[in-house]
Amino acid sequence: MNTFVALSTRQRMPVIGLGTWKSTSGQVKQAVHKALECGYRHFDCAAAYENEKEVGEALTLWVGPGKALQREEVFVTSKLWNTKHDPQDVEEACRTSLADLGLSYLDLYLMHWPIAFQRGKELMPRKEDGSICYSDTHYRDTWTAMESLVDRGLVKAIGLSNFNARQTDDIISMARHKPVVNHVECHPYLSQADLLSHCRSVGVCVTAYSPLGSGDRPWASANEPSLLKTPAQVILRWHIQRGVVCIPKSVTPSRIQQNLNVFDFSLSEEDTKSIESFNHNKRFIAPTVEVKRVWRDAEHPHFPFHDAY
Protein backbone atom coordinates (compact mmCIF):
# COMPACT_ATOMS: atom_id res chain seq x y z
CA MET A 1 0.00 0.00 0.00
CA ASN A 2 1.52 3.32 -1.08
CA THR A 3 1.85 6.02 1.55
CA PHE A 4 0.79 8.67 -0.96
CA VAL A 5 -1.66 9.21 -3.81
CA ALA A 6 -0.75 10.72 -7.16
CA LEU A 7 -2.88 13.74 -8.00
CA SER A 8 -3.78 14.66 -11.57
CA THR A 9 -1.04 17.32 -11.39
CA ARG A 10 1.45 14.49 -10.64
CA GLN A 11 1.97 15.79 -7.12
CA ARG A 12 2.39 13.12 -4.45
CA MET A 13 -0.06 13.68 -1.60
CA PRO A 14 0.55 11.66 1.60
CA VAL A 15 -2.49 9.54 2.43
CA ILE A 16 -2.33 10.45 6.12
CA GLY A 17 -2.16 14.07 7.18
CA LEU A 18 -2.67 16.01 10.38
CA GLY A 19 -6.00 17.83 10.57
CA THR A 20 -5.91 21.15 12.45
CA TRP A 21 -9.62 22.03 12.76
CA LYS A 22 -10.53 22.68 16.41
CA SER A 23 -6.86 22.60 17.49
CA THR A 24 -6.67 25.55 19.84
CA SER A 25 -4.01 28.14 20.46
CA GLY A 26 -1.25 26.68 22.57
CA GLN A 27 -2.06 23.17 21.33
CA VAL A 28 -1.72 23.26 17.58
CA LYS A 29 1.96 24.29 17.48
CA GLN A 30 2.92 21.35 19.68
CA ALA A 31 0.67 19.03 17.67
CA VAL A 32 2.35 20.01 14.38
CA HIS A 33 5.79 19.71 16.00
CA LYS A 34 4.98 16.22 17.29
CA ALA A 35 3.53 15.19 13.94
CA LEU A 36 6.66 16.29 12.08
CA GLU A 37 8.75 14.41 14.62
CA CYS A 38 6.68 11.25 14.04
CA GLY A 39 7.02 11.48 10.27
CA TYR A 40 3.90 13.33 9.10
CA ARG A 41 4.50 15.25 5.89
CA HIS A 42 0.93 16.40 5.16
CA PHE A 43 -0.87 19.17 7.04
CA ASP A 44 -4.44 20.27 6.46
CA CYS A 45 -5.10 23.90 7.37
CA ALA A 46 -7.69 26.61 6.71
CA ALA A 47 -8.07 30.32 7.32
CA ALA A 48 -11.37 29.63 9.08
CA TYR A 49 -9.62 27.51 11.72
CA GLU A 50 -7.98 30.73 12.95
CA ASN A 51 -4.75 28.94 13.91
CA GLU A 52 -2.60 29.14 10.77
CA LYS A 53 -0.07 31.50 12.40
CA GLU A 54 0.67 28.93 15.08
CA VAL A 55 0.86 26.13 12.50
CA GLY A 56 3.32 28.34 10.63
CA GLU A 57 5.46 28.80 13.72
CA ALA A 58 5.90 25.03 13.97
CA LEU A 59 6.56 24.60 10.25
CA THR A 60 9.19 27.35 10.32
CA LEU A 61 11.17 25.44 12.93
CA TRP A 62 11.37 22.38 10.69
CA VAL A 63 11.09 23.44 7.05
CA GLY A 64 13.42 25.52 4.91
CA PRO A 65 17.07 26.03 3.99
CA GLY A 66 19.34 24.58 6.65
CA LYS A 67 16.39 22.96 8.47
CA ALA A 68 15.49 19.28 8.92
CA LEU A 69 13.15 19.30 5.90
CA GLN A 70 13.14 21.01 2.54
CA ARG A 71 9.94 22.72 1.46
CA GLU A 72 9.19 20.15 -1.24
CA GLU A 73 9.14 17.38 1.38
CA VAL A 74 6.02 18.77 3.07
CA PHE A 75 2.50 18.94 1.61
CA VAL A 76 0.44 21.83 2.99
CA THR A 77 -3.22 22.50 2.22
CA SER A 78 -5.23 25.61 3.08
CA LYS A 79 -8.74 26.75 2.22
CA LEU A 80 -10.52 29.85 0.98
CA TRP A 81 -13.25 30.85 3.43
CA ASN A 82 -16.83 31.71 2.44
CA THR A 83 -16.45 35.46 3.04
CA LYS A 84 -13.63 35.60 0.46
CA HIS A 85 -15.47 34.21 -2.56
CA ASP A 86 -15.64 37.55 -4.38
CA PRO A 87 -12.98 37.33 -7.12
CA GLN A 88 -11.41 40.55 -5.83
CA ASP A 89 -10.75 38.92 -2.44
CA VAL A 90 -9.30 35.57 -3.48
CA GLU A 91 -5.63 36.47 -3.97
CA GLU A 92 -5.45 38.55 -0.79
CA ALA A 93 -6.99 35.68 1.20
CA CYS A 94 -4.46 33.24 -0.21
CA ARG A 95 -1.56 35.57 0.50
CA THR A 96 -2.77 36.00 4.08
CA SER A 97 -2.71 32.24 4.61
CA LEU A 98 0.76 32.04 3.04
CA ALA A 99 2.05 34.77 5.34
CA ASP A 100 0.52 33.14 8.42
CA LEU A 101 1.94 29.74 7.48
CA GLY A 102 5.35 31.21 6.61
CA LEU A 103 5.28 29.71 3.12
CA SER A 104 5.94 31.03 -0.38
CA TYR A 105 3.42 28.63 -1.96
CA LEU A 106 0.72 26.12 -1.01
CA ASP A 107 0.65 22.60 -2.38
CA LEU A 108 -3.15 22.69 -2.46
CA TYR A 109 -5.75 25.44 -2.00
CA LEU A 110 -9.39 24.45 -1.64
CA MET A 111 -12.68 26.33 -1.86
CA HIS A 112 -13.91 25.51 1.65
CA TRP A 113 -17.63 25.45 0.71
CA PRO A 114 -19.62 26.18 -2.47
CA ILE A 115 -21.58 28.73 -0.40
CA ALA A 116 -20.54 32.40 -0.42
CA PHE A 117 -21.04 34.61 2.63
CA GLN A 118 -21.19 38.41 2.71
CA ARG A 119 -17.76 40.01 2.17
CA GLY A 120 -15.88 41.36 5.14
CA LYS A 121 -13.61 40.50 8.03
CA GLU A 122 -16.25 38.78 10.16
CA LEU A 123 -15.94 35.01 9.86
CA MET A 124 -19.67 34.37 10.29
CA PRO A 125 -21.54 37.54 9.22
CA ARG A 126 -25.05 37.50 10.70
CA LYS A 127 -28.29 39.43 10.45
CA GLU A 128 -30.07 40.77 13.51
CA ASP A 129 -32.07 37.54 13.77
CA GLY A 130 -28.85 35.49 13.91
CA SER A 131 -29.11 34.01 10.41
CA ILE A 132 -26.12 34.06 8.07
CA CYS A 133 -25.65 36.91 5.58
CA TYR A 134 -25.09 35.24 2.22
CA SER A 135 -23.63 36.57 -1.00
CA ASP A 136 -24.82 35.78 -4.52
CA THR A 137 -21.26 35.21 -5.81
CA HIS A 138 -21.28 31.98 -7.79
CA TYR A 139 -18.64 29.36 -7.02
CA ARG A 140 -17.72 29.27 -10.73
CA ASP A 141 -16.55 32.90 -10.55
CA THR A 142 -14.60 32.12 -7.40
CA TRP A 143 -12.95 29.18 -9.15
CA THR A 144 -11.81 31.37 -12.04
CA ALA A 145 -10.08 33.67 -9.55
CA MET A 146 -8.47 30.65 -7.85
CA GLU A 147 -7.06 29.53 -11.18
CA SER A 148 -5.06 32.76 -11.30
CA LEU A 149 -3.31 31.67 -8.09
CA VAL A 150 -1.92 28.66 -9.98
CA ASP A 151 -0.83 30.91 -12.84
CA ARG A 152 1.05 33.16 -10.39
CA GLY A 153 2.78 30.30 -8.61
CA LEU A 154 1.10 30.96 -5.28
CA VAL A 155 -0.40 27.45 -5.23
CA LYS A 156 0.58 24.22 -6.96
CA ALA A 157 -2.99 22.97 -7.33
CA ILE A 158 -6.56 23.89 -6.47
CA GLY A 159 -9.51 21.83 -5.38
CA LEU A 160 -12.92 21.66 -3.77
CA SER A 161 -14.33 21.01 -0.33
CA ASN A 162 -17.91 20.00 0.51
CA PHE A 163 -18.97 19.93 -3.16
CA ASN A 164 -21.47 17.36 -4.39
CA ALA A 165 -21.02 15.42 -7.65
CA ARG A 166 -23.13 17.82 -9.71
CA GLN A 167 -21.21 20.86 -8.46
CA THR A 168 -17.90 19.08 -9.04
CA ASP A 169 -18.90 18.40 -12.65
CA ASP A 170 -20.00 22.02 -13.01
CA ILE A 171 -16.51 23.19 -12.06
CA ILE A 172 -14.80 20.63 -14.29
CA SER A 173 -16.92 21.72 -17.26
CA MET A 174 -15.52 25.27 -17.19
CA ALA A 175 -12.11 24.91 -15.53
CA ARG A 176 -8.73 25.71 -17.06
CA HIS A 177 -7.08 24.16 -14.02
CA LYS A 178 -9.08 21.09 -13.02
CA PRO A 179 -9.85 20.40 -9.35
CA VAL A 180 -7.48 17.73 -8.06
CA VAL A 181 -9.27 17.01 -4.76
CA ASN A 182 -12.75 17.04 -3.23
CA HIS A 183 -12.39 17.28 0.55
CA VAL A 184 -15.52 15.87 2.20
CA GLU A 185 -16.85 14.38 5.42
CA CYS A 186 -16.29 10.64 5.23
CA HIS A 187 -16.33 7.90 7.88
CA PRO A 188 -18.05 4.53 8.38
CA TYR A 189 -21.40 6.19 9.12
CA LEU A 190 -21.08 8.26 5.92
CA SER A 191 -19.07 6.10 3.57
CA GLN A 192 -19.64 8.33 0.50
CA ALA A 193 -19.38 5.33 -1.87
CA ASP A 194 -21.28 7.05 -4.70
CA LEU A 195 -19.36 10.31 -4.43
CA LEU A 196 -16.05 8.45 -4.20
CA SER A 197 -16.90 6.46 -7.33
CA HIS A 198 -17.92 9.60 -9.19
CA CYS A 199 -14.80 11.53 -8.21
CA ARG A 200 -12.59 8.64 -9.30
CA SER A 201 -14.34 8.60 -12.68
CA VAL A 202 -13.42 12.25 -13.30
CA GLY A 203 -9.87 12.08 -11.91
CA VAL A 204 -10.55 13.84 -8.61
CA CYS A 205 -9.00 12.47 -5.41
CA VAL A 206 -11.18 12.33 -2.28
CA THR A 207 -9.82 13.50 1.06
CA ALA A 208 -11.80 12.42 4.13
CA TYR A 209 -12.13 15.02 6.82
CA SER A 210 -13.38 13.90 10.23
CA PRO A 211 -12.45 10.33 9.17
CA LEU A 212 -13.04 9.13 12.75
CA GLY A 213 -16.41 10.87 13.09
CA SER A 214 -15.28 14.09 14.84
CA GLY A 215 -16.58 13.28 18.29
CA ASP A 216 -15.46 16.68 19.57
CA ARG A 217 -17.38 18.73 17.00
CA PRO A 218 -19.08 21.67 18.81
CA TRP A 219 -22.66 20.65 17.95
CA ALA A 220 -22.39 16.94 18.83
CA SER A 221 -25.29 15.64 20.87
CA ALA A 222 -25.04 13.10 23.67
CA ASN A 223 -27.21 10.50 21.92
CA GLU A 224 -25.20 10.29 18.70
CA PRO A 225 -23.00 7.23 18.08
CA SER A 226 -19.25 7.43 18.64
CA LEU A 227 -17.00 5.83 16.06
CA LEU A 228 -14.10 5.88 18.49
CA LYS A 229 -15.49 2.69 20.01
CA THR A 230 -13.87 1.17 16.93
CA PRO A 231 -10.05 1.52 17.02
CA ALA A 232 -8.98 4.59 15.10
CA GLN A 233 -6.29 2.73 13.20
CA VAL A 234 -8.85 0.30 11.75
CA ILE A 235 -11.01 3.16 10.48
CA LEU A 236 -8.01 4.95 8.98
CA ARG A 237 -6.88 1.73 7.31
CA TRP A 238 -10.37 1.29 5.86
CA HIS A 239 -10.16 4.75 4.30
CA ILE A 240 -6.70 4.12 2.88
CA GLN A 241 -7.69 0.80 1.30
CA ARG A 242 -10.49 2.68 -0.49
CA GLY A 243 -7.92 5.12 -1.91
CA VAL A 244 -9.08 7.97 0.31
CA VAL A 245 -6.67 10.48 1.87
CA CYS A 246 -7.26 11.05 5.62
CA ILE A 247 -6.57 14.03 7.86
CA PRO A 248 -7.37 12.94 11.43
CA LYS A 249 -7.07 15.78 13.92
CA SER A 250 -5.34 15.26 17.25
CA VAL A 251 -3.28 17.25 19.72
CA THR A 252 -2.45 14.17 21.82
CA PRO A 253 1.11 12.96 21.08
CA SER A 254 0.32 9.26 21.47
CA ARG A 255 -2.67 9.48 19.11
CA ILE A 256 -0.72 11.52 16.58
CA GLN A 257 1.82 8.70 16.48
CA GLN A 258 -0.85 5.97 16.45
CA ASN A 259 -2.74 7.54 13.55
CA LEU A 260 0.37 7.26 11.37
CA ASN A 261 1.00 3.60 12.21
CA VAL A 262 -1.47 2.15 9.70
CA PHE A 263 0.81 0.77 7.00
CA ASP A 264 1.89 -2.50 8.63
CA PHE A 265 -1.46 -4.30 8.43
CA SER A 266 -4.41 -4.63 6.08
CA LEU A 267 -8.11 -5.37 6.40
CA SER A 268 -9.65 -8.45 4.87
CA GLU A 269 -12.57 -8.26 2.47
CA GLU A 270 -14.79 -9.47 5.30
CA ASP A 271 -13.50 -6.71 7.60
CA THR A 272 -14.12 -4.11 4.91
CA LYS A 273 -17.67 -5.31 4.27
CA SER A 274 -18.37 -5.24 8.00
CA ILE A 275 -17.29 -1.60 8.27
CA GLU A 276 -19.23 -0.66 5.14
CA SER A 277 -22.36 -2.10 6.74
CA PHE A 278 -22.25 0.75 9.29
CA ASN A 279 -23.13 3.28 6.60
CA HIS A 280 -26.48 5.02 6.93
CA ASN A 281 -25.56 8.36 5.33
CA LYS A 282 -25.13 9.98 8.73
CA ARG A 283 -23.65 13.44 8.21
CA PHE A 284 -21.99 14.84 11.35
CA ILE A 285 -20.33 18.01 10.09
CA ALA A 286 -22.95 20.09 8.24
CA PRO A 287 -23.70 22.81 10.83
CA THR A 288 -27.19 22.63 12.31
CA VAL A 289 -29.32 25.15 14.15
CA GLU A 290 -31.68 24.58 17.04
CA VAL A 291 -34.56 24.34 18.11
CA LYS A 292 -35.63 22.39 15.06
CA ARG A 293 -32.53 20.44 14.03
CA VAL A 294 -32.01 21.52 10.42
CA TRP A 295 -28.94 22.26 8.34
CA ARG A 296 -28.00 25.86 8.89
CA ASP A 297 -27.32 26.76 5.25
CA ALA A 298 -30.01 24.56 3.68
CA GLU A 299 -31.82 27.48 2.04
CA HIS A 300 -28.76 28.68 0.12
CA PRO A 301 -29.05 27.87 -3.61
CA HIS A 302 -25.59 26.25 -3.61
CA PHE A 303 -26.06 24.16 -0.46
CA PRO A 304 -24.45 20.85 -1.48
CA PHE A 305 -26.21 18.24 0.63
CA HIS A 306 -29.70 18.23 -0.89
CA ASP A 307 -28.31 15.97 -3.63
CA ALA A 308 -27.85 12.29 -2.81
CA TYR A 309 -24.07 12.66 -3.37
Phi first, then psi, for residue 107 (nearest 5°) are -75, -30
Q: Which residues of 6-33 are buried (b: 16+ CB within 10 A; e: fewer)?
A: ebbbebbbbbbbbbbbbbeeebbbebbb
Nearest alpha carbon to residue 249 among 44, 106, 59, 40: 44
Per the residue annotation, which of 40, 49, 134, 139 is the catalytic one? 49
Nearest alpha carbon to residue 78 among 140, 161, 198: 161
Q: What is the DSSP string of 50-91?
A: T-HHHHHHHHHHHBSTTSSB-GGG-EEEEEE-GGG-SHHHHH
Q: What is the DSSP string of 238-295?
A: HHHHTT-EE--B---HHHHHHHH--SS----HHHHHHHHTT-S-----S-EETTTTEE
- Give me the amino acid identity at 118: Q
If one counts every other C-beta atom within 10 angstroms of the C-beta of residue 291, the result is: 5
Q: Rounded to whole angstroms, how far apart are CA atoms 47 and 93?
A: 8
Q: Rounded to whole angstroms, how far apart are CA atoms 127 and 23?
A: 28
* 49 part of the active site: yes
Q: Which SS3 state, helix, strand or coil, does residue 13 take?
A: strand
Residue 239 counted as an annotated binding residue = no
If one counts every other C-beta atom within 10 angstroms of the C-beta of residue 86, the result is: 16
Q: Rounded to whole angstroms, how far apart are CA atoms 124 and 118?
A: 9
Binding residues for substrate: 112
- Residues with catalytic function: 49
Binding residues: 112
